[in-house]
Amino acid sequence: MPAPAPQITFDDFLTVDVRLGRVVKAEPFPQARKPAFKLTIDFGPEVGVKSSSAQITRHYTIDQLEGRMVAAVVNFPPRQIGPFMSEVLTLGFPDADGEVVLVGVDRDAVVGGRLF
């Protein structure tokens, strides 16, 4: 495991906009260098619908992803991944093998809600 990142201020934390979204579409992304899915995520009226490339094929299927609530950073610049433009960074933690386990919520929460 990597060492903790350097200490930051609360104001630094506030510059990272992490929102809750609902996956409305998941599809294969065979052009990606590492196995991944293309996700279309609805973040509500303030942020809108955004796309994300996510390397989550080890633990999730397309059917498990559609309708799932996920957390993502919505204020990074878009990133070109092969032929696909990823607009948000979907968040997860590594399992024992380094594979991504998605961050989610365990109760009903507002789509588009900001992490605090």
What number is the average pLDDT over the span 11-20?
A: 96
Question: What is the token pair recorded at 105?
Answer: 């919520």
Q: pTM for the full model?
A: 0.94
Question: pLDDT, tens digit, for every residue of 39-61?
Answer: 999 999 999 999 999 999 999 99
Question: pLDDT, tens digit, for every residue of 65-104?
Answer: 999 999 999 999 999 999 999 999 999 999 999 999 999 8
pLDDT for position 111: 97
Nearest to 24 by CA among 54, 64, 68: 68
Q: Give the 3-state secondary structure of 37-62.
A: EEEEEECHHHHCEEEEEECCCCCCCH
Question: Which of the four pLDDT bands, split at 50, 70 and 90, describes residue 1?
Answer: confident
pLDDT for position 68: 97
What number is the average pLDDT over the span 11-35?
A: 96
- What's the rounded Cα separation, in Å, for the pair 62 and 37? 8
